[in-house]
Amino acid sequence: MSFPTPGPKQELEQGLTFTPKFDQYGLIPAIAQDHQTGQVLMLAYMTAEALAKTLELGQAVYYSRSRQELWHKGATSGQYQIVHQILTDCDQDALILRIEQLGGGACHTGANSCFYRAVPLGQTPENSKLTPVSDPD
């Protein structure tokens, strides 16, 4: 499946045609967000094929940059992501997947979210120490 080519800026920003803009590597960033709480769970990337499969299955399918292959989230771990809604930003070059996380946390570490450490503000980079944050259920 291929998506329509993005048109003029006005159509891209105000139109109702879904024309995702993939980067020079054929990827688009996709943020997975809990559909009930709004908590950001993870950031991944999608190719056109991964996005098409996500739309078809109603489950998140990403592209693994390290393995260079499609990654159906949960296919091996059981930690599926059921997609309730996909949002695109004004430029259609980033996505938010509002999902229901099944089978445990979204992170490969077992955490509910991949974002479980805070970066301190007001410090120099060489003195910055990450601070663990609570993992809301």
Question: What are the pLDDT digits (tens) for 86-122?
Answer: 999 999 999 999 999 999 999 989 899 999 999 999 8
3-state DSSP helix/strand/coil % of the chain, to nearest 5: 15, 30, 55
Query: Which residues is 83 bridged to in the sheet?
Result: 99
Instruction: Provide the whole-model pTM.
Output: 0.91
Alpha-carbon torsion angle 111, 112, 114, 115, nearest 10: -110
Amino acid sitting at position 135: D
| 9-132 CATH | 3.10.20.810
What are the pLDDT digits (tens) for 68-90? 999 999 999 999 999 999 999 99
Q: Where do the structural domains in the chain lie, given as residue ranges?
A: 9-132
Q: Label the pairing between strands 69-72 and 61-64.
A: antiparallel
